Structure 1
Amino acid sequence: MQHGEYLHVGRLVSTHGIRGEVRVLPDTDFPEERFAPGNELFLLHPSLSEPLILRIEKSRPHKNVWLVKFTQWSDINEVEPFKDGKLVVSKEDIVPVQEDEGEFYFHQIVGCDVITTEGRHLGKVQEILQLPANDVWVVRPDPKGKDLLLPYIDEVVKQVDTKKKQIIIKWMEGLE
């Protein structure tokens, strides 16, 4: 599988203890599901020519990370070479979301055309910033244009159609 065929769910940031447990910085809205015992994740790392399949033995949240024990590793020395590796799942292993209730994956939003309720094309979503108050969608009008920052709030985002890759927004004072 190519790297584009995966969804990132976390990053292996460091070891924890001497028995092969690792600290994982989650990159998923579903850490309880992704890091549940028995689940398999793929590890991508520059030292690996192929993704390494890892099975979760146990896991638990700890501060801003998850402590995860994989069945394949029983000692700190087995884990050390893979620090900063990316933990991923196949895109087919996607957790269903309630799109009609405003739930979307980032990869569904990035690349969507943004159009005002008056029909003016503003550009495409380039990235999503996760801020404490709300997410902000970065919209690029053209390769040389200045980015537009759209808050993902009900007053601005009126409709999201991931199948058409189109987002309808209500233009508000102060967005430019």
Structure 2
Amino acid sequence: MEFLRVGQLVNTHGIRGEVKIMANTDFPEQRFAVGKQVWLEHPTLVEKLPLTVAQVRTHKSTLLIRFREWNNINQAEAFKGAWLIVPEEEEVTDEDDGFFFHQIIGCQVVTTDGMQVGRVKEILPLPANDVWVVSREGKADLLIPYIEDIIKDVDVKQQVITMEWMEGLE
């Protein structure tokens, strides 16, 4: 079974087992709704640990989540840096032409005039808009904001993203 990374446990919060999660999904309100199950993946675990969302709230750019299975900080502390994952068949979308983070990673980026830019290696989910990190051969990584003025087309089947080059990107 294949899994998707939907968030990362970045820290604990308080003493009652609540944790800070950096969401890695376009639909955190659906993915981390009360009652939803996710699995914890961490190098110290032999098997993935199932966790059920008991409470969730937004805090700055993270989510504060309490899982039913944890009721104190000691249960969560050892798992800082762990990934929260879900089975791939649980993908969530709200539109037919939508796409997911994992479908963007590895896509070739080209400009509207055909210039090869590089490949998307990471997505930084930020409050204003996501930023796509593009790895370029022989050059520093390029940070591209995911906004309509720049990203003109995303073809996940062909693994090609077409962008409008703008002054100041480099």
> TM-score normalised by the shorter chain: which range applies?
0.7 to 0.9
2:6 partner letter:
H
Corresponding residue for 1:13?
11
Shift in CA distance, 54/118, structure 1 to aligned 2, threshold 3 Å:
same
Shift in CA distance, 49/153, structure 1 to aligned 2, threshold 3 Å:
same
SS in 2 for 1:108: helix
- Partners of 1:137 and 1:35 lie apart in 2 by 23
- Partners of 2:78 and 2:59 lie apart in 1 by 24
Find runs of 4+ consecutive structure 1 residues off by over 6 angstroms: none
1:25 correspondence with 2:1: no
Tell me the TM-score normalized by structure 1: 0.75
SS in 2 for 1:158: strand
Corresponding residue for 2:140?
146
Kindly name which structure, 1 or 2, has the bigger radius of gyration based on alpha carbons.
Answer: 1
- Partners of 1:31 and 1:131 lie apart in 2 by 13
Shift in CA distance, 50/156, structure 1 to aligned 2, threshold 3 Å:
same
- The answer to which structure has the higher helix fraction is 1
- Give unpaired runs (5+ residues) of structure 2: none
Of all paired residues, the percent bearing the same amino acid is 43
Answer with 21-30 or 114-123: which moved more. 21-30
Which of 51, 59, 63 is residue 55 of structure 2 equivalent to? Answer: 59
1:39 correspondence with 2:39: no
Shift in CA distance, 81/140, structure 1 to aligned 2, threshold 3 Å:
closer
Measured after TM superposition, the shift of residue 139 of structure 1 is: 2.2
Q: Which has the higher contact order (CA 8 A, sep 6+)?
A: 2
Deviation by residue 1:49-84 (Cα, 9 ceiling, x = unmatched): 11111223x203153354434333345544444444
Number of equivalenced pairs: 168
Tell me the TM-score normalized by structure 2: 0.77
- Give unpaired runs (5+ residues) of structure 1: none
1:39 partner letter:
K
CA RMSD of aligned residues (A): 2.8
Which of 157, 161, 167 is residue 167 of structure 1 equivalent to? Answer: 161
